[in-house]
Structure 1
């Protein structure tokens, strides 16, 4: 039975589609349609004009950002076969044609032709739960960056108005420190309190952990502060707003973690790896998807972009090779964060890390080596569905 092949060049607002038959002949030219329900219907109406009875139709599109997902969902929902292609494959196919032309029409044709020859490694479309986890864990990365930036900005204000304050606490963003700042943003404000009132306040805010000694330290720092003494109202307002923003972000991150935990559950064998917590395990699982996509741990290492690049020229081979940083940046980040913790808490990886440092490796290079070893462990655990064994 003959087939029709539809290559779709994906974009944010409008897509381009080209239909070809099994001989590679373009049917009806290329059409442009909007990324809407009406646009999807326009595409189907155009394609079915060339269909003879039950002629199979194969749609193909690149995994371009997130813009392909809505059209893919639409086509699959209508009962059609839709294949998602890695952009690297279509780019390689372009080289076969030795084409320097890159237009939407040209790209749509190349995708259709790639479908026709069938030499495609399909990009797997994740399950609904995996997509949900991926959305939330990636959003969490964004929120965490905002939180870090907010903390940096708070410290910037304190550096100007009350530079001594952060050093008074083991954690400048602990509950007690933040609660005091929410009430009193400047040294002058703290100085207005009597020793007794400040002691009672500190004791109340810290639930008895701190008392007179901390109050005395605060009073001494406030009275001898080297902070600026002008435009304090503006700095005070800025600090209040930043502290409010900090509280919102912390609350939102807690909410995200709760939802991620619900989706991910507690059954994953990745949770048996010392140093890999629930949120990190969820992020790693969401980014990897189906482990069967990878035949070896080396493929997973490459997918994460933590494989070292090799610099060679003639007889020279570099020994300070950097990570390739190709592949999933979110998986790479999750693996890196897990490796930092595992190099301290996981007996196997801690020993491996210390050995690399003894060999003269820079600490960051040693962490990179840990991340590759950890990825191998993760690959085996997910492939065999077995717990981590020391």
Structure 2
């Protein structure tokens, strides 16, 4: 007899439901949301053929922790599961969700998703932290500029010693303004130090990764883009075709077809937003700053002439994703970041 389990995961507790092939409930339990506790709860029931749970913030930790303990766990697409669970129970409770997920495991009506390795998630966290810090730096500089304009001072562009000198000079002697400016400048310096430390870590990771160094041979692709792309792909072999990267990163047009209606819209913008943005920036650099002769650039310029520059950048970003994945897939020495 085959058995199937569903896990409804929350931050503190996880509801477990085990069904048999006929859909009868064999066991139900509530465990702490840790791999150890969930594996222990599953051991009280017959060995399951498939154990499913939805994607979420805790998915990487639970997936890899349960897999290490020999649990046949599968992470499924949460949007598809949400639509299916709505039809299985009138009342939405954690217990009913666990039962519904077990039913999906029993029927096979689910879409498994790839769970990235924990090192890849660590790299993604580093890149996202840098993005947030850069945003904080820009916010602080804009705040300083806004306060300075009230007193008739126009400051130079940021990230220069002249910026700090003029801020302190124009606020010197004004009781309230001087303290405000010095506090904002001190916060800005702290943020810049944190960004510099993260940049140092990124350069160190790139130097250690042969895959990143190879990707950086593509014009317009820098350390952050190469590192973010390798972390997003994680395992090149999970994509059967390199051109699937365009859809995975949300760089392909949406299509809606129903009866006589059939139109193509803007790009889907699904997947990793940060990687999509970095590829778009790399495409822009290749189109506007790279001076060498390149067939890929000529192809994108031809698109810009037929349509517009924005569509050319998107098409080139999609092509860059395909090329970079092909480079990773052909690298026999590739290792996840």
Q: How does 1:73-92 map to 2 (within 5 A)?
A: 73-91=64-82
The 2-side partners of 1:101 and 1:384 are apart by 50
Give the count of matched residue pairs.
326
Change (3 A) 1:48 1:176: closer
Q: How does 1:153-164 map to 2 (within 5 A)?
A: 153-164=143-154
Question: Which residue in the other structure is 2:44 paired with?
Answer: 49
The 1-side partners of 2:72 and 2:260 are apart by 51
Per-residue displacement from partner, 1:118-165 (whole Å, max 9, x unpaired)?
465532333343222122122222222222222222222232234333
Change (3 A) 1:242 1:311: farther
The 2-side partners of 1:80 and 1:314 are apart by 45
Per-residue displacement from partner, 1:148-190 (whole Å, max 9, x unpaired)?
2222222222322343332xxxxx113322341364243x76x
Q: Which moved more, 1:273-282 or 1:13-22?
A: 13-22
- Cα contact 1:60–1:115 (8 A) shared by 2: yes
Question: Which residue in the other structure is 1:210 paired with?
Answer: none
Matched, 1:267 2:267: no
Partner of residue 248 from structure 1, selected from 190, 204, 210: 190
Which consecutive unaligned segments of at least 5 residues does structure 2 have? 333-337
Matched, 1:175 2:117: no
- Cα shift at 1:275: 0.6
- Cα shift at 1:57: 5.7
Q: How does 1:194-233 map to 2 (within 5 A)?
A: 232-233=174-175
Query: CA RMSD of the aligned region, Å?
Result: 3.0
Matched, 1:372 2:314: no
Per-residue displacement from partner, 1:241-265 (whole Å, max 9, x unpaired)?
2222222122111211222233342
Question: Which residue in the other structure is 1:325 paired with?
Answer: 269
- Cα shift at 1:46: 3.6
The 1-side partners of 2:41 and 2:78 are apart by 25
- Cα shift at 1:359: 2.0
Question: Which residue in the other structure is 1:33 paired with?
Answer: 31
- Cα shift at 1:382: 2.0
The 1-side partners of 2:69 and 2:97 are apart by 24
The 1-side partners of 2:118 and 2:60 are apart by 12
User: Please, what TM-score do these two structures have when normalized by structure 2?
Assistant: 0.83
Q: How does 1:1-390 map to 2 (within 5 A)?
A: 2-29=1-28, 31-36=29-34, 40-41=36-37, 43-51=38-46, 55-56=47-48, 58-64=50-56, 66-91=57-82, 93-94=84-85, 102-118=92-108, 121-166=111-156, 172-181=157-166, 183-186=168-171, 232-264=174-206, 265-268=208-211, 269-310=214-255, 321-346=265-290, 347-361=294-308, 363-385=309-331
Per-residue displacement from partner, 1:336-385 (whole Å, max 9, x unpaired)?
23222222244445434433332241x33332222222222222222223
- Cα shift at 1:277: 0.4
- Cα contact 1:287–1:330 (8 A) shared by 2: no
- Cα shift at 1:45: 4.3
Q: Per the alignment, in what secondary structure is the counterpart of residue 296 of structure 1?
A: coil
Change (3 A) 1:59 1:377: same
The 2-side partners of 1:369 and 1:103 are apart by 44
The 2-side partners of 1:315 and 1:114 are apart by 34
User: Please, what TM-score do these two structures have when normalized by structure 1?
Assistant: 0.73
- Cα shift at 1:11: 1.8
- Cα contact 1:305–1:325 (8 A) shared by 2: yes
- Cα contact 2:49–2:72 (8 A) shared by 1: yes
Which structure's CA Rg is the greater one? 1
Q: Which moved more, 1:339-348 or 1:254-263?
A: 339-348
- Cα shift at 1:15: 1.9
Which consecutive unaligned segments of at least 5 residues does structure 1 have? 167-171, 190-231
Q: Per the alignment, in what secondary structure is the counterpart of residue 90 of structure 1?
A: helix
Q: Which moved more, 1:13-22 or 1:268-277?
A: 13-22
